[in-house]
Structure 1
Amino acid sequence: MSTTGQQDSQSLVDFYEVVKGRRSVRKYDPDFKLTEEEIKDLLAAAVLAPSGSNMQPWRFIVITDQELKQQLLPIAFNQEQVVAASAVIAVLVDLKAYTEAPLIYGKAVEAGYMNEETAEKLVTNMSNFVGSRPPERLLQSALIDGGLVSQQLMLAARAKGLDTVPMGGYNVDQFRELMGISERYANVMLIAVGKAAQPGHPTVRLDVDYVTSWNGFNR
C-alpha cells in the first residue's frame, strides 16, 4: 500500500473512532479548564459545517465564568454539568443571517473563489428571495444549520479527547433574559464541554434497516 493509502486508511479509522467514541457525558472534572484558544480551535472546526447558501447563521455564547454558571444552573434545571464542565457553549442562530451576505460573499471574492459580479448577484438574490420568506421558514432553515454546527462541534471536541453533552432541557426564556438575547436570534441548544469525571454510558441504536427505506418511504 502506498503511503497516501496508509494515511487515508488511518484517517478513516480515526474518524470512526471519533464517531463511536462520542458519548453524552454528564459528570465532569471541575478542575479541568480549557483555555480561550482551545475553545476557539473547537469553534473554528465547528464553523466548517455546511449551511444554506453558506450564510453561516450560527452564533455562540461561551460561558466559562463560574459565577455566571451558577446563575445558569437553576435555569438549566440544576444539571450539574453546567457548573462542573470547563465551558458551556450556547448555540444560537441569526434569523436575519441573509443580511450578512455582502460580508460573506465579499470574503469569497477576496479569497479568489468568485468574481465581484457573481457576488453582487448572489447578494441581490439573498435579499430578494430569502428576505421575503415567512419567519417560520427562516427559523426552520436556521435550526437545520444550527444542528449541523452543533454536531460538528461535539465531534471536534471528541477528536481532541474532550467530552460533551447537548442540552435542550433548560428554560429558554430565562436564559434569553439572562444573556440579553434579542428576537433576531433563536436558541438551538446548550453544549457542555470538558473532561469526563465519569465516562458516558453506552447506548443502543435502532438498526439501519429499521430506520431506512429505499426509493420510497414504506413504513
Structure 2
Amino acid sequence: MSRLRKEITSCSYSVVKTMSGRSIATCFRLIVHFKHKHENVRQIITKPFGGSMMNFQQLLQARRSVNQFDPNATISRDDLESMIESATLAPSSYNLQHWRFLVVDDKEQKLKLKKAAFHQQKVEDASAAIVILGNLQAHKDAERIADDLTEKGYLPAQYKENVINQIEGLYSNESMQRDEAIRGSSLAAMALMLAAKEKGYGSCPMIGFDPQLVRQEFNIPEHLIPVMMITIGTDLDPEMPRKIRFAVEEVTTYNGF
C-alpha cells in the first residue's frame, strides 16, 4: 500500500503542476484501477488537491469519450444515484427539469440494450448504461414549479397563475415540447458525464441506437423520448493525445456575422 500511496500522490501532484489533460486521464486510470481494492485511495488523491478531486478546468480536461471499459468493474447504486443527483442540478426552462434517467446495470438487460445499440461492445462492458430521456409532459408540473417559486420568494403570489399560464401556453406547441425535452435532458447529460469523471469513472455519450427498439425492450412510456445513452465504467482506453479542438477564433463571433 505504501508504494500505491507514493504513486498516486506523485501522480496527483503532477496533474496540478502540468494541468495536462493527458496526465489527468492517466492518473484517473491508476486511481480507478486500484479503487476497488483500497478504500482509502480517494483520501490519498484528494489531499494534494486541497480536499477536492479536481477543479473545474481539470475536470473538463480529463473527461474523454471512452470506448473500452473494464467488463469486470462495477459501480455501486450509491455512486450512480450521486451522479444523477448532480446531473439534476442542470438548468432548464422554467425549472421544469425535462430529464429522466433509465439506468441499465443488470447484465441481461445490458445485452438487450447492446442489441438496440447495434451490438456495440462498450454497452455490455460498461458498468452501467444510462438512457437519457426527455419528458414531453414536463409542462404538466407547472403548478408544482410555480408553488415552489412562490414559497421560496422568487415569485409574488399574485403572479403565480400568470406563470402557470405562460408555461402551459408555451408548451401547447408540440415542437416546443420536443425541442425543450431534448435541450433540457442534454444539459443534464453533460452534467452527468462530469459527475462521473469527478468520481473517477469514464463515460461515453451515444446516439448510435434504435430508439424505438429501446422503447420496446424497456417499456418506456410514450411521453418520454430517448435522447441519448451514456455508458459509464472503468476506463481501459489506451492513453492518446486529445482529438482536435477548433480554436476559439474559429468558433466565436462577436455581435453578429
Within the alignment, does 1:78 sit opposite 2:119 as a pair?
A: yes
Which residue is 1:124 aligned to?
165
Counterpart for residue 84 of structure 2:
43
Q: CA deviation at 1:131?
A: 3.4
Q: Is the 8 A contact 1:26 1:200 kept in 2?
A: no
How high is the TM-score relative to the length of structure 2? Answer: 0.74
Residue 56 of structure 1: how far off its partner (Å): 0.5
1:145 maps to which of 146, 167, 184: 184
Query: In structure 2, which of residues 218, 226, 243 is the aligned counterpart of residue 203 of structure 1?
Result: 243
Could you give the per-residue CA deviations for residues 111-160 of structure 1, whole angstroms, max 9, x where no partner exists? 55545444343223212x22322x12221122111211111110111111
Q: Which of 211, 215, 230 in structure 2 is aligned with 1:191?
A: 230
Deviations 1:27-60 (A, max 9, x none): 1112221111111100111010001111101111
Aligned with residue 255 of structure 2, among 192, 215, 218: 215
User: What is aligned with 1:166?
Assistant: 205
CA distance in 1, matches of 2:51, 2:249: 28
- Deviation of 1:99 (Å): 0.3
Q: The residue matched to 2:228 in structure 1 has which SS? A: strand
Q: In the aligned structure 2, how far is the partner of 1:38 from the partner of 1:167?
A: 21
Q: Write out the 4+ residue segments of structure 1 that deviate beyond 6 Å after TM superposition.
A: none
User: 1:4-83 counterparts in 2 under 5 A?
Assistant: 14-83=55-124
Which residue does the alignment assign to 1:100?
Answer: 141
List runs of 5+ in structure 1 lacking aligned partners.
Answer: 1-8
How many pairs align? Answer: 206
Larger RCO, structure (CA 8 Å, separation 6 or more): 1
Query: Is residue 91–residue 190 contact of structure 1 (8 Å, CA) maintained in 2?
Result: yes
> What's 1:4 paired with?
none
Q: What are the equivalent positions in structure 2 for 1:107-118 lying under 5 Å apart?
A: 107-111=148-152, 113-114=154-155, 116-118=157-159
- Compared CA separation, residues 37 and 117, structure 1 to 2 (3 A): farther
State the percentage of identical aligned residues.
Answer: 33
Q: 1:17 to 1:199 in 2, by over 3 A?
A: farther
Would you say the 8 A contact 2:129–2:230 is kept in 1? yes
Deviates more, 1:53-62 or 1:24-33: 24-33
TM-score by length of structure 1 reads: 0.86
Across the aligned residues of Structure 1 and Structure 2, the Cα RMSD in angstroms comes to 2.1
